[in-house]
Amino acid sequence: MSIANVLSIAGTDPSGGAGLFADLKSFSALGVYGMGAITALTAQNTQGVAGIHRPSQTFLAQQLNVLADDVRIDAVKTGMLFDTDIIEVVAAWLDRTNPPIVVLDPVMVATSGDALLQPEAEDALTNVVSQATVITPNIPELAVLASRLGEQVSPATTIDEALAQAVTVANSTGTLVVAKGGHVPGGQVVDALVMPDGTITQFHGPRVDTNNTHGTGCSLSSAMAALAAKDVIDGRNLDWKAVLARAKHWMTVSLLAADELSVGNGHGPIHHFAYQWAQAGTEPRLNGDQLLSLWWDRIGQLRKDIDALDFVRALGDGTLAQERFITYQIQDALYLSTYARVLASAAAIAPDRSAQAFWAKGANECIEVEMTLHDAWIPEGSENTPMDAVTTGYTNHLLSRAQLGHYGELIAAILPCYWLYQDIGDRLTAHNHPDHTFHNWLTMYGDPAFAEATLQAKTLVVDALDAASDTDRKRMWEAFYESCIWEYRFFDR
């Protein structure tokens, strides 16, 4: 029982981007055995739906029953159910077989805007929600479900509105709800897992600039079914928060690679097998900017963990004890003395004059600008304070990367000291005011010059990624991630 069996109950899409075919691709990409029972046959392409043919409910029941009589089903994902008769067949079968995991994607409208659920079937579909383990509505679908279960609402235009509607659905049905923020404007996509008790866990990720989004809803829900089934079969505790985080990461990769495909003239499909094709040496290679966005997405939970640290929260609201802040300043000054040497090493091996000048300027400013600010806080007599274990570990990590002499790996290790500091600073400066205990320090965080330097550092890393081999890209990611861990530990004081 090392490989999970997952069943999709859904309609077909001849273009392969959505519906049952997309589900089977998702299952295969994520390492489970996929099966399918067809609820409807569509005539559609990337530009729209031309026609729908529904097999009889008797034949659907036959598909489901013969499969359940023969095959162990570890999870079920439902997609397009189309009308009340089909929904009733599926509901009865779920009640009889009681699959351990049911992920329900309440498919109502295609990406093209064409209806995939008869309007009179909305109440029937709402009733089935309570039979699911988790549901994955998009913004319009969530509004329909919330309206059927509570007061009439319009599709959400903010993530807070979407969360309120998801709470209504989760509380009314006892089912976990994934509130998807893809339709909500903004530079980032915020999705959330809402528990029946109202507990909300948010997930932030980059908004991928692509027109190829056909089948994203189908594929995310089938990815969740696959990953959950794998966890259970492999003997791991089923954690839906972890499942959603992993499914989102896979979806981000699939979206980033989507433009490498050339399928149709409308909304094309995502690239379900981006990882597999990369490993086979036939990958649509992500450019450096895409890969850096993916790195940022990968450390999303770590960034939230940094924000939640007591030191960071107290620094923001001004309640941080002076002794703790001074201890931090001493260690940060010790760190900067080594960090300046590391930046100088980057300047020495940079491939062009522009990069050499940038890293050299950074090394100089560590001494002339930042150390001056530290001196305002550090009391006399602290010069001989030794590095603590965290400062020693972080600087040793950077020095070892410098000694290797690999430019891309070194600047990837340096980048978090720019990027994470600016990211934290963006939120800390919101608390700043002239009378703030740490006014000067927070002002430095919000300095536009530092934001510009961060952008330049990111650009240089993107350039290095574009020039790097796949092996070197892996080394760069490992150097970047290790530095992110050290940044977290540096704030965890």
Q: State the catalytic residues.
A: 180, 213, 215-218
Give the whole-angstrom CA distance, residue 318 versus residue 301: 25
Closest CA to 217 of 10, 54, 64: 10
What CA–CA distance (Å, rounded) separates 43 from 432?
Answer: 58
| Beta pairing partners, 355 | none
Query: What residue has token string 């923020």?
Result: 181
CA separation for the pair 156, 161 (Å, rounded): 5
SS3 477: helix
Q: Are 144 and 133 in contact (CB under 8 A)?
A: no
- The closest of 322, 468, 332 to 390, measured between CA atoms, is 332
Cα–chain center distance at 374: 36
Instruction: State the Cα–Cα distance between residues 422 and 126, nearest whole angstrom.
Output: 45
- For 326, the enclosing helix (H) or strand (E) is helix 322-349
The number of residues in the chain equals 493
d(CA 78, CA 23): 10
- Cα–Cα distance between 103 and 74 in angstroms, integer? 12
Q: Which residues of 142-181 are buried (b: 16+ CB within 10 A; e: fewer)?
A: bbbbbbbbeeebebbeebebbbbbbbbbbbbbebbbbbbb
Contact yes or no for 17/46 (Cβ under 8 A)? yes
Evaluate whether 267 touches 214 at the Cβ level (below 8 Å).
yes
Tokens 């980048």 correspond to what residue? Answer: 415
The structure tokens 């993107």 sit at 462
